[in-house]
Structure 1
Amino acid sequence: MNTLFSNLSRPKTEVSVVNGPTAVRILIADDHDVVRSGLRSIVELRAGWQVVGEAGDGKAALTMALALKPDILITDYSIPLMNGVEVTRQVRQRLDRTEVLMFTMHDTDEIITQALAAGAKAFLLKSDAKQYLVSAIEALANRKPFFTGKLSERMLHSYLAKETERVIPLLTPRERMVVQLIAEGNSNKQISALLNVSIKTVESQRSAAMKKIDATSTAGLVRYAIRNKLIEP
């Protein structure tokens, strides 16, 4: 874990009351207590910035975001139950005033593309937090995007490279969710309950995902989830 966040810990989920009409209200979602505490310690040094809540998984993050309507959601990509991209997509669909900062240790082209397509307006690596976190939040508070120079170059190179790449079918957001939940060890019945859909629907989405990624077993789905950072090995 980055030394920025060492020797800190907080409860897995916490909500606080925010006063003042001009406060920038921030919700933090990460499954590591030490990361959430590190983010909170940086945010609360700034006058007018307030952490309204902390969530340790994606479902809790979405529930809290809908209830608290923060100005900014800071979310990791690899969080349990609902990954950061799916949280971002649903938050941006339902809360047009909430900006999202994708905060992660992963910087693959696919993850960056997924985050932007879902509606994240800023992308920051955890290793760059000490240098850029404040600037990223300031940009989002002013409705502006934020990317480090290094990531901007990556995005440009990725865009240019796509001109010659073979087109591979992408998983839908729900198919990604099903793959993530399978890789986390959930059964079809448990996934059905978590997503509030029928077992038949789960089986159909599982089958579609396996066909797209050319997987022939659950192990293949797990390998895909690890390779694409849906879960951490």
Structure 2
Amino acid sequence: MNTIDPTQQQPEPRIHVLVADDHVTVLEGLAAIIDRQPDMRVVAQAANGREAAEQWRVHRPDVAVLDIRMPEMDGVDAIEAIRQLDPSARILMLTTFDTDTDIARAIRAGAHGFLLKDSPREELLAAIRRVDAGETVIPPALVNKLAAGISTEALTGRELEVLRLLAEGRSNKEIGNQLYISQSTVKSHLRSIFNKLNVLSRTEAIAVATRRGLLTH
């Protein structure tokens, strides 16, 4: 009769992971990939940012892998909620190329790394291990994007109002009438917007602002 030597038993996975994504297929796929690793275990899953923060409070994982765009509470707000519970929480964000503004917000909120959603599984697993070890992980493909987004001076509230009306196809006169400002003031705001977005035309300003998430609402 064979007996099991306790010293030969598999050790308990060291890295406990929380995964959050509002797409069920993505969520289940990530969890399955992570759970197959001998040194990792998914201890909680969440479908939105609010649930992610609550699951983190209950399970206290070593690493949270959060989608940057989720309903109810987005990934950045979830970071802030989690870090209120534990400022040392280690968080890896899932992102795409069209979320420059959200990425900059996530850095300020305390994200420890970013991973493109279409990254190979080896990169996902390596990123989790590196974040668990206290490293910051930013794929080379995102470095220039992040540098550009972070270095861009933020638009003021008034400039965002002008930009949104511009995106609606309003003329300078119409923008001025809508905001109760002169056309010269509108032109001044547009010059500032163009400088901050590093663009030369109204069309380019709308395109860049849309890509950075400034015109999503």
Which category of TM-score, normalised to the shorter sequence, fits these structures?
Answer: 0.5 to 0.7
Q: Secondary structure at the match of 1:35?
A: helix
1:36 equivalenced with 2:27 (yes/no): yes
Q: Is 1:228 aligned to residue 213 of structure 2?
A: yes
Amino acid at match of 2:76: V
Question: Given that residues 44 and 51 in structure 1 are in contact (C-alpha distance below 8 angstroms), is that contact kept between their aligned partners in structure 2?
Answer: yes
Question: Percent identity at matched positions?
Answer: 27
Partner of 1:38: helix, strand, or coil? helix
| 2:160 aligned residue | 213
What does 1:139-218 correspond to in 2, within 5 Å?
139-159=130-150, 162=152, 165=153, 167-169=154-156, 213-214=160-161
Distance, in Å, in 2 between the alignment partners of 1:55 and 1:158 is 28
The alignment's TM-score, normalised by the length of structure 1, stands at: 0.61
State the alpha-carbon separation in 2 of the partners of residues 53 and 120 from structure 1: 19
Q: What is the aligned counterpart of 2:58 among 64, 67, 71?
A: 67
- Note the residue ranges of structure 2 that are not aligned, 5 or more in a row: 1-10, 169-208
Q: Offset at 1:46?
A: 1.2
1:199 aligns to what?
Answer: none
Are the aligned partners of 2:13 and 2:41 in contact in 1 as well (CA < 8 Å)? Answer: no
- Deviation at 1:21? 6.5
- Show the counterpart of 1:185: none
Decide which moves more: 98-107 or 143-152.
98-107
Shift of the alpha carbon at 1:118?
0.8
Give 4+ residue runs of structure 1 displaced > 6 Å after superposition: 224-227
* C-alpha distance after superposition, 1:173-227 (max 9, x if no partner): xxxxxxxxxxxxxxxxxxxxxxxxxxxxxxxxxxxxxx6732899xx9xxx9997
Q: Write the letter of the residue equivalent to 1:46.
A: Q
> Quick one: structure 1 residues 77 and 106, their matched pair in 2 at CA, closer, same or farther if it must change by over 3 Å?
farther
Q: Return the alpha-carbon distance in structure 2 between the equivalents of residues 59 and 71 of structure 1.
A: 18
CA contact under 8 A between 1:100 and 1:122: conserved in structure 2?
A: yes
Indicate the SS of the match to 1:147: coil
Match of 1:132 in 2: 123
Give the alignment's Cα RMSD to 1 decimal. Answer: 3.2
Task: Output one character per residue of 1:62-99: Cα deviation in whole Å (capped at 9) or x when no partner.
Answer: 11111111111111111110011000111122223421
For 1:99 and 1:169, locate their aligned partners in 2 and report how far apart those are by CA, in whole Å: 31
Shift of residue 228 of structure 1?
2.1
CA shift digits 1:20-78 (9 cap, x unpaired) = 77621111111111111111111112112010111111111111111111111111111
Amino acid at match of 2:23: H
User: Matches of 2:43 and 2:111 in 1, distance apart?
Assistant: 19
Structure 2: distance between partners of 1:100 and 1:49: 15
Kept after mapping to 1: 8 A contact 2:104/2:149: no
**Equivalent residues of 2:14, 2:39 under 8 A apart:** yes
